[in-house]
Amino acid sequence: MLKDEVRTKSYRDSIYQNGHLFKDKVVLDVGCGTSILSMFAVKAGAKHVIGVDMSTIIEKAKEIVELNGMSDKITLLQGKMEEVVLPYDKVDIIISEWMGYFLLYESMLDTVLYARDKYLVKDGLIFPDKATIFAAGIEDGDYKEEKIGFWDNVWGFDYTPLKQTAMTEPLVDTVDLKAVVTDPSPIVTLDLYTCTTADLAFRVPYKLKARRSDFVHAIIAWFDIEFSACHKPIRFSTGPHTKYTHWKQTVFYLRDVLTVEEGEEIVGELENKPSEKNHRDLDITISYKLNTDDMHRQASGTGMYKMC
């Protein structure tokens, strides 16, 4: 968190620029870590901040809060959100940095929603309050060959059983903007005021329009985050068109190489759900079909991926 400039600066700006929202308010920091957001909130004028984290990092957070003279303003609690006893029945604002890779992998969003339902006053605020997953198609021939083709001949042996495994593992990596072949397309938006844990499993159609004639080896996903309660809304993106964040992008290789012409569309559905075996893993299914009249280029299929 601390070393990710884009992320921490967005949180800082959204809090510091909105002192009028934080002034004299009770704030809950879900998954507070070293308490950086809690300290931002105190500086912005909060009456009191409660930071909750399961990790032993809370001991370091206490030292840091003490050193920075905020011990009377920040209460730090180690434990599960569902189990800790807060010094207030209700809070005015929830702040949290809960996002994982592909937004939802190992994310703390369910904990934030729990805290919202139990503690947030009516008309209370959530920072951030909106998250949108986007997708696009990319040309990635060289890297796909390196990552996937590698298994065809490993030191003289046939390792294709691991090729199948490699295909099902989405890759978290930075994608060069030049590799993006299609327009980006929003897949799903989560409104943190209204969404429920059920909304974290979804199956949605998508449509990706080719910007140029090229090959498409993979579909990538990323997310944008919005603090819309701010006087002047603050957003940041984790897409390939903007500054590096530690979330990078998530790459899903397709079995087929799609040969697309400018203006053609790749259509399909993207399904995401927590794995039945392990609720922290994600099962992601992406179907794809290239809409073209050219029968030599027609292609469709379905990829099943597991983030674990």
CB of 246 to its own copies, least distance (A): 15
Q: Which stretch binds its own copies (CB under 8 A): 35-43, 91-99, 181-189, 200-208?
A: 35-43
CA-based nearest residue to 220, from 256, 270, 262, 264: 270
- Give CA separation, 288 vs 187, 203, 219, in Å: 14, 13, 9
Can you tell me which residue has the tokens 């964040």?
245
67 binds its own copies (CB under 8 A): yes
Could you give the CA distance from residue 84 to residue 31 in angstroms, rounded to a whole number?
12
Among 82, 85, 161, 198, binds its own copies (CB under 8 A): 161
Given 63, 66, 106, 262, which residue is catalytic?
Answer: 106
Among 19, 90, 117, 162, binds its own copies (CB under 8 A): 162
97 is catalytic: yes
Total residues in contact with its own copies, by rule CB under 8 A: 25
CB 189 within 8 Å of CB 132? yes
Can you tell me which residue has the tokens 């944008």?
224
159 binds its own copies (CB under 8 A): yes
275 binds its own copies (CB under 8 A): no
Q: Which stretch binds its own copies (CB under 8 A): 94-102, 122-130, 153-161, 172-180?
A: 153-161
CA-based nearest residue to 98, from 134, 63, 53, 58: 53
Rounded-to-5 percentages of helix, strand, coil across the chain: 25, 40, 35
CA-based nearest residue to 133, from 244, 245, 250, 31: 250
CB of 253 to its own copies, least distance (A): 17
CB 103 within 8 Å of CB 223? yes
261 is catalytic: no
Could you give the CA distance from residue 299 to residue 289 in angstroms, rounded to a whole number?
6
Q: Which stretch binds its own copies (CB under 8 A): 37-45, 47-55, 258-266, 268-276?
A: 37-45
34 binds its own copies (CB under 8 A): yes
68 binds its own copies (CB under 8 A): yes
Can you tell me which residue has the tokens 């079995």?
255
Q: Which stretch binds its own copies (CB under 8 A): 1-9, 21-29, 45-53, 136-144?
A: 1-9
How do strand 130-138 and strand 185-191 relate by DSSP bridges? antiparallel
CB of 269 to its own copies, least distance (A): 30
- In the complex, which residues of this chain contact its own copies (CB under 8 A)? 2-3, 8, 12, 34, 36, 39-40, 43, 60, 63-64, 67-68, 150, 154-162, 165
Which residues are catalytic, by number? Answer: 97, 106
